[in-house]
Amino acid sequence: MLCVDDDPDIQTAIDIMFRPYRVEVDHAHYGMEGIARVTQWKPSLVVMDLAMPNGSGEDLLSVLKFNPMLKDIPVIILTGVRDADAERRTMLQGASSFLRKPLDFRQILFEVSRFIDLARRERE
């Protein structure tokens, strides 16, 4: 899983949350870095913020969904943005889910479990 967020506290929380499930989590701190990481690594899932320096989450989502080799990677938006238009736009662009900060661990675990088999990983 790739977490693209400029907030180090969010990145740490995601690491801690998925450690028991043995989910490999990589990080990018801004949109353009996220594009580079996705292209190189091709993660099974991207969790990302919208409001970041050097390329927004919407920019990254557009790149992912218009690239035939990356378009099937599920994207969960996790953001503090309170803009209903942003939610509508990202869902129309192909985001799999739109979650608002502050973090709700159960909600994030539920959404991620739609794409990664957490129960199997926990048993391994």
Q: What is the pLDDT of residues 46-100, one digit of tens each?
A: 999 999 888 888 999 999 999 999 999 999 999 998 888 999 999 999 999 999 9
CA distances from 81 to 9, 21, 57 (A): 17, 28, 11
Residue 124: pLDDT band by 50, 70, 90 thresholds? low
Q: What is the pLDDT of residues 16-60, one digit of tens each?
A: 999 998 899 999 999 889 999 999 999 999 999 999 888 888 999
Q: Is 72 exposed, middle or buried (0-12, 13-18, 19+ CB in 10 A)?
A: exposed
Which pLDDT belongs to residue 118?
A: 66
d(CA 79, CA 51): 7
Q: Is the pLDDT of residue 105 over 80?
A: yes
CATH hierarchy code of domain 2-118: 3.40.50.2300
Are 46 and 5 in contact by the 8 Å Cβ rule? The answer is no
| pTM for the predicted model, two decimal places | 0.91
Domain boundaries, the chain: 2-118
